[in-house]
Amino acid sequence: MTRLTPDLIEGVPDDTLDLDSRLLKMCGKTVKQLALEGAGVYHDVDFSKMRVACVPITSGMGIIGGFSKSVDAIVRRLGMQSYVTAGTDVNGFQQAIRDGVDMVMMADDAMFVAYNVHAARSTNNSWGTAMGYAVALKNAAGGIEGKDVLVIGAGLVGTEAVQILKSWGANVSVTDIKTEKAKALEERFGVKALPDVEDALASHRYILNAAPAIFPGRLIQEGAVISTPGVPHYFDEEGRKKAKAIIHDPLEIGTAMMAVNSALFSMEVSK
């Protein structure tokens, strides 16, 4: 699990990335539309009645400056009501429950969840990031069925992404510097493990990069569509020129996906 740092997320509250206009250009969809699609909903939903509490968690390596504020801003951009609890940890959780919120968002070093109080169910950020970036890739690629897709990274996000892309009928390959991790996914899900990361990248046009790795532009195919939640995030001049689309943000797509999916657990919405 790659841990965010304050500098990576400082622009999230004020949306300095202007993510929606970038996504509209690359995928033809906004963050909210991508998240709804990931939840199987192809029309707008009014989330204004959804009340959310973001609880800062001090365990492990502790609070990340700006993390709760960023989650709060992302959830508000979906149209939900949201606030960061004054208390942290169990204290903050108790405050949220006493306030009668519908959903609690909180993260320790290993897990980030959106907990729907009414449904007593949660969605986590590994699935949310995988789904959000898979939907973005599908839209940017103009559909993914029958297409060769490479997932880089057989960790928590890559493992979810492999399953999602396969379920959509893509020909999925997976690669990881720890080849045994990719092999394990080949055995579990019937996808193809590729031993050499660089060769795999150079031979694919559609890529979901869920690894904390930086790839030189010489490996990027002309016209590549790269959906890449991985941090640190960097593509050199050659890579940026050759790629048709490079879809990235430090936190928003995954958080929006998990918040929308969890909120819908307790909403009557036609699919």
Exposed/middle/buried for residue 146 (C-beta within 10 Å: 0-12, 13-18, 19+) = exposed
Sheet strands (E) in 119-224: 121-124, 148-152, 171-175, 192-193, 206-209
The least distance separating ligand 2YC from the CB of residue 251, rounded to whole angstroms, comes to: 5
Question: Judged by CB under 6 A, does residue 114 bind ligand 2YC?
Answer: no
Options 30, 33, 68, 261; binder of ligand 2YC; rule CB under 6 A: 68
Options 38, 56, 132, 239; binder of ligand 2YC; rule CB under 6 A: 56
Q: Of the two residues 63 and 97, which places its CB atom closer to ligand 2YC in the complex?
A: 63
- Nearest partner of 208 among 262, 266, 129, 269, judged by Cα: 129
The least distance separating ligand 2YC from the CB of residue 84, rounded to whole angstroms, comes to: 10
Q: Of the two residues 132 and 239, which places its CB atom closer to ligand 2YC in the complex?
A: 132
The least distance separating ligand 2YC from the CB of residue 90, rounded to whole angstroms, comes to: 13
Kindly report each contact of residues 227-233 with a partner whose C-beta sits within 8 Å and lies 24 or more positions away, as own/partner: 227/133, 227/134, 227/136, 227/137, 227/140, 228/133, 229/129, 229/132, 229/133, 229/157, 229/253, 229/254, 230/2, 230/152, 230/153, 231/2, 231/4, 231/8, 232/8
Question: Judged by CB under 6 A, does residue 53 bind ligand 2YC?
Answer: no
Question: Judged by CB under 6 A, does residue 46 bind ligand 2YC?
Answer: no
Q: Which of residues 126-145 bind ligand 2YC (CB under 6 A)?
A: none
The least distance separating ligand 2YC from the CB of residue 18, rounded to whole angstroms, comes to: 20
Question: Judged by CB under 6 A, does residue 202 bind ligand 2YC?
Answer: no
> Encoding tokens for residue 267?
């909403």
The least distance separating ligand 2YC from the CB of residue 203, rounded to whole angstroms, comes to: 29
With contacts defined by CB under 6 A, name the span among 39-47, 59-67, 176-184, 263-271 that binds ligand 2YC: 59-67
Question: Judged by CB under 6 A, does residue 113 bind ligand 2YC?
Answer: no
Options 112, 115, 133, 168; binder of ligand 2YC; rule CB under 6 A: 112
Exposed/middle/buried for residue 186 (C-beta within 10 Å: 0-12, 13-18, 19+) = middle
Residue that the structure tokens 């929006």 belong to: 256
Residues forming contacts to ligand 2YC in the complex (CB under 6 A) are 1-4, 56-57, 63-64, 67-68, 107-109, 112, 125, 251
